[in-house]
């Protein structure tokens, strides 16, 4: 495919695009005169945004003196193109001013008083671009503020950055020197006078994009430019100068691609998706200036033309030069009391400016001041529009093969759906349809309005959608807040009720007794399972022991776990890396699980439970990594933290528990011995280890989970039992507990109801955790 395209082009054969027109050419007005260097204007008006994208951040302030080429704005993202001081001078104001836009609206501009010195900032001239890496070149291009100079103003550094992901190999780099607008000769003259610089710029693009072939497309009405570029590229095999037939709009990106390659750019895609990049010749020149001479884009060639001017000519205009300065330089004939269109751009796609202060920007290639003789239609006071007779001439000339007459009806009827169906978005605003329309319908104008309306409608729809979601979110939030408030009130009421109930036993006994009873009840409820299990153990006596004993036991076991963990920490600190270490970790984990289970069972505190669950999950995670002492440390720390939490809760809940804990501490010493036994008995640890492991694995297998949980409980029970054994063996606490058990049984019944209530409230209020 690539080869055949090149073959065709070498033979001088091109494809054709649909439609197109041949408006009368007036290039001779300016094409025979060299580009004129102008004197410096007194004041420049430099709009902050001169390209497609966003404004940069201002780097200068009012009153500041800047040198030529100094950056005035900073690019903070890729869609921002910086602007530079076109000459040296002072910033006199930064304000809204009319910009080069068909709307005649104002945007932020830097008003720049020229001091006349034209003093440059320090420049670093690059003699050999081969020494520069691609990203450095792209950076230079970006910093030089180059945006597509053909008219669209797309940031060039984005276009030439082929390293951006998902871009295919570049087959063709097309340099657009077609310049199909019938008056403009800016590119023509630039090609004549600066062909070597343009070719140098093309070489830089070649280095960046590494295309298979480079085509320079020039319309056959520019023989001098063709000759100049053919000479400049004579020795370069890769570059081909393509002389394309003159037809408007051959210079359109899509049309030129079709002429040269026969391919169509799929609607909604960029040429780069088809492996094609197109750059304007003026952009190539600017790239060369920027990369080799460190000269930012501060001036451009502007064709100042039209028969209303005495001296139409191409000029080097500084960016920001107001058009009245340019017109004075080319001596505009004064037409008194006559409306005079001044068109920025060509007669086909340019726009009429509303003020003489409109500045030249990076995309301005022409100032056209036509006389009434040469362009009567531009002077018409009112639209001569008559009804469309469906002659179809517009669709015959449309380069996008649209149906302008049908679009026009739909646009007038504001039928956006139909416009979309007729592919209005593929219209390139070339104006060929309006040019040939015998009914003088300003077709393009209708399309522009329709496009703006569609865009606005899209934005409105987006906004409505956003407003809707925000409204829904707000409604949801208010609903939630209401429920929360309701809950809070309910809870407060419940608390009040509880306080009232509390008051009754207070009359009969001590406050602490009730609290103790509460705690005991909780403990008992939780240890029911344990009790059941314990009946099977030889220690049947223990079953007869009071709940308090159980409670204490569980507390004790928690304490044990803590103590053990501490001990383990110490042990590990001293331990060298050994296989035992790993085992120890496992044991700690196992014990931790154990302790948490028992803790859970005994304290029956939601908060503790959740905390433990989190700790467990963390421990499990860490268990998986299953590595060195450091991890174990973390795990034990977590366990400690959990235990501390649990302890806190316990402290708040019951003073007695504290005492029990104190006792437990004493006991723990004794248990330390027992622990040794535990440690020694590999059986215990081995049993524990797979169980915890199982639990980790079965996190997402409910059936298994139940099973392992049961096992876990069983295991912990058995170890707990062994501990219990230790306790009973070591100290006779049971006798004391018997009495307490009776008291607790009474209190239990009383407190049960309250407990339920409280737990219910707590369940509904996870926020408290």
Residues 563-602 binding other proteins (CB under 8 A) are none
If the CB atoms of residues 48 and 563 are measured against other proteins, the closer one turns out to be 48
Residue 442 contacts other proteins per CB under 8 A:
yes
- Output 293 or 448, the one with its CB closest to other proteins: 448
Using CB under 8 A as the binding rule, whether residue 78 contacts other proteins is answered as no
Please give the residues from 231 up to 290 whose contact with other proteins meets the rule CB under 8 A. 254, 258, 264-269
Q: By C-beta, is 100 or 198 nearer to other proteins?
A: 100
Shortest spacing between CB 756 and other proteins, in angstroms: 38
Tell me whether the omega of the peptide bond preceding residue 661 falls within 30 degrees of 0, making it cis: no
Q: Does 466 bind other proteins (CB under 8 A)?
A: yes
Total residues contacting other proteins by CB under 8 A comes to: 104
- Rg (C-alpha) for the chain, rounded Å, is 43
Site for other proteins in 629-658 (CB under 8 A): none
Touching other proteins, residues 180-199 (CB under 8 A)? 182
Neighbours of 44 (CB within 10 A): 25
Q: Which is nearer to other proteins, 60 or 432 (CB)?
A: 432
Kindly identify the residues of this chain, within the stretch 5-44, that bind other proteins according to CB under 8 A.
Answer: 17-18, 21, 23-24
CB atoms within 10 A of CB 460: 10
Burial call 462-485: b when 16+ CB within 10 Å, e when fewer: eeeeeeeeeeeeeeeeeeeeeeee
Nearer CB in complex with other proteins: 332/640: 332
Residue 48 interacting with other proteins (CB under 8 A): no
Query: How many residues in total does the chain contain?
Result: 769
Other beta carbons less than 10 A from residue 644's beta carbon:
12
From CA 754, how far away is CA 61, in angstroms rounded?
72
**745 binding other proteins? (CB under 8 A):** no
C-alpha distances out from residue 604 to 555, 599, 616, 734, Å = 11, 8, 16, 22
Q: What are phi and psi of 296, to 5 degrees?
A: -70, 170
B/e letters for 690-709, b = 16+ CB within 10 Å, e = fewer, are ebbbbbbebeeeeeebeebe
| Dihedral angle over CA of 349, 351, 352, 358, nearest 10 | -140
Please state, in angstroms and rounded to a whole number, the distance separating the CA atoms of residues 355 and 658.
88
CB of 3 to other proteins, least distance (A): 24
Q: Tell me the window of 80-88, 347-355, 504-512, 739-747 that interacts with other proteins (CB under 8 A).
A: 347-355
Q: Quote the least distance from Cβ 482 to other proteins, whole Å.
A: 13
Nearer residue to other proteins within complex by CB, 124 or 387: 387
Tokens of 284: 């190539």
Compute φ and ψ for 68, nearest 5 degrees.
-60, 130
For residues 349 to 368, the per-residue mask of contacts with other proteins, x marking binding by CB under 8 A and - elsewhere, is xxxxxxxxx----------x
* Phi, psi at 592, each rounded to 5°: -60, -45
Q: Which of 62, 74, 389, 644 binds other proteins (CB under 8 A)?
A: 389
Window of 462-470, 556-564, 598-606, 748-756 that interacts with other proteins by CB under 8 A: 462-470
Q: Distance between CA atoms of 522 and 608, rounded to whole angstroms?
A: 13
Q: Which is nearer to other proteins, 158 or 436 (CB)?
A: 436
In angstroms, rounded to a whole number, what is the distance separating the alpha carbons of residues 1 and 274?
Answer: 12
426 or 487: CB nearest other proteins: 426
Of 65 and 372, which CB lies nearer to other proteins in the complex structure?
372
Report 297-316 residues binding other proteins (CB under 8 A). none
Interface residue with other proteins among 134, 206, 379, 502 (CB under 8 A) is 379
Complex with other proteins: residue 477 or 648, whichever CB lies closer: 477
- 380 touching other proteins, by CB under 8 A: yes
Q: Could you say whether residue 210 binds other proteins (CB under 8 A)? A: no
């Amino acid at each position: 495919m690539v080869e055949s395209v090149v073959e065709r082009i070498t033979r001088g054969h091109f494809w054709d695009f649909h439609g197109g027109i041949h408006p009368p050419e007036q290039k001779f007005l300016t094409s025979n005169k060299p580009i004129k260097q102008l004197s410096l204007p007194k004041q420049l008006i430099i709009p902050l945004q001169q390209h497609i994208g966003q404004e940069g951040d201002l780097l200068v302030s009012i009153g500041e003196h800047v040198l030529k080429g100094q950056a005035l704005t900073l690019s903070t993202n890729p869609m921002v193109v910086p602007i530079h001081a076109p000459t040296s001078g002072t910033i006199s104001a930064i304000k809204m001013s009319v910009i080069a836009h068909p709307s005649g609206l104002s945007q932020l501009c830097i008003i720049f008083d020229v001091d006349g010195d034209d003093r440059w900032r320090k420049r670093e001239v690059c003699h050999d671009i081969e020494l520069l890496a691609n990203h450095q070149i792209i950076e230079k291009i970006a910093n030089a503020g180059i945006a597509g100079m053909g008219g669209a103003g797309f940031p060039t550094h984005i276009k030439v950055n082929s390293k951006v992901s998902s871009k295919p190999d570049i087959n063709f780099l097309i340099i657009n020197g077609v310049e199909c607008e019938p008056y403009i000769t800016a590119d023509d003259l630039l090609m004549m006078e600066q062909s070597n610089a343009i070719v140098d710029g093309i070489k830089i693009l070649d280095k960046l994009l590494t295309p298979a072939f480079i085509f320079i497309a020039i319309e056959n009405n520019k023989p001098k430019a063709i000759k100049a570029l053919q000479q400049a590229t004579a020795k370069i095999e890769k570059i081909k100068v393509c002389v394309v037939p003159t037809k408007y709009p051959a210079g359109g990106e899509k049309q030129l691609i079709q002429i040269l390659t026969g391919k169509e750019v799929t609607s909604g895609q960029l040429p780069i998706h088809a492996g094609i990049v197109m750059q304007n010749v003026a952009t190539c020149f600017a790239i060369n200036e920027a990369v080799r001479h460190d000269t930012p884009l501060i001036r451009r060639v502007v064709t100042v033309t039209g028969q209303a001017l005495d001296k139409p000519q191409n000029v080097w205009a500084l960016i920001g030069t107001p058009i009245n300065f340019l017109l004075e330089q080319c001596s505009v004939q004064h037409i008194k009391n006559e409306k005079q269109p001044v068109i920025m751009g060509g007669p086909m796609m340019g726009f009429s400016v509303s003020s003489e202060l409109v500045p030249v920007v990076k995309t301005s290639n022409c100032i056209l001041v036509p006389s009434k003789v040469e362009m009567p239609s531009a002077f018409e006071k009112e639209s001569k529009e008559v009804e469309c007779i469906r002659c179809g001439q517009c669709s015959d000339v449309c380069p996008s093969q649209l149906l302008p007459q049908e679009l026009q009806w739909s646009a007038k009827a504001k039928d956006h759906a139909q416009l979309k169906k007729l592919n209005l978005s593929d219209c390139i605003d070339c104006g060929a349809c309006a040019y040939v329309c015998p009914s003088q319908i300003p077709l393009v104008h209708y399309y522009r309005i329709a496009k703006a309306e569609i865009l606005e409608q899209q934005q409105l729809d987006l906004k409505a959608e956003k407003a809707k979601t925000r409204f829904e979110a707000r409604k949801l939030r208010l609903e939630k807040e209401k429920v929360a408030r309701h809950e809070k009130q309910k809870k407060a009421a419940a608390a009040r009720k509880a306080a009232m109930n509390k008051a009754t036993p207070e009359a009969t006994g001590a406050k602490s007794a009730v609290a103790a009873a509460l705690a005991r009840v909780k403990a008992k409820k939780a240890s029911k399972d344990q009790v059941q299990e314990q009946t099977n153990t030889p220690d049947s006596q223990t079953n007869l022991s009071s709940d308090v004993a159980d409670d204490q036991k569980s507390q004790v076991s928690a304490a044990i776990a803590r103590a053990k963990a501490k001990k383990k920490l110490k042990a590990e600190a001293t331990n060298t890396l050994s296989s035992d270490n790993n085992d120890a970790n496992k044991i700690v984990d196992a014990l931790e699980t154990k302790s948490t289970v028992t803790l859970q069972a005994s304290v029956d505190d939601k908060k503790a439970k959740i905390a433990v669950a989190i700790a467990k999950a963390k421990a499990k995670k860490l268990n998986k990594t299953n590595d060195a002492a450091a991890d174990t440390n973390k795990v034990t720390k977590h366990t400690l933290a959990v235990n501390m939490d649990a302890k806190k809760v316990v402290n708040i809940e019951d003073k007695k528990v504290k005492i029990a804990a104190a006792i437990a501490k004493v006991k723990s010493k004794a248990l330390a011995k027992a622990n040794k036994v535990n440690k020694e008995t590999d059986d215990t640890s081995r049993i524990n280890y797979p169980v915890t492991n199982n639990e980790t694995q079965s996190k997402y297998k409910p059936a298994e989970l139940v099973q392992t949980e049961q096992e876990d409980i069983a295991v912990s029970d058995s170890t707990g039992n062994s501990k219990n054994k230790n306790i009973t063996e070591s100290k006779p606490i049971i006798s004391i507990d018997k009495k307490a058990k009776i008291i607790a049984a009474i209190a239990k019944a009383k407190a049960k109801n309250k407990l339920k209530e409280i737990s219910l409230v707590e369940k509904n209020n996870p926020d408290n955790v």
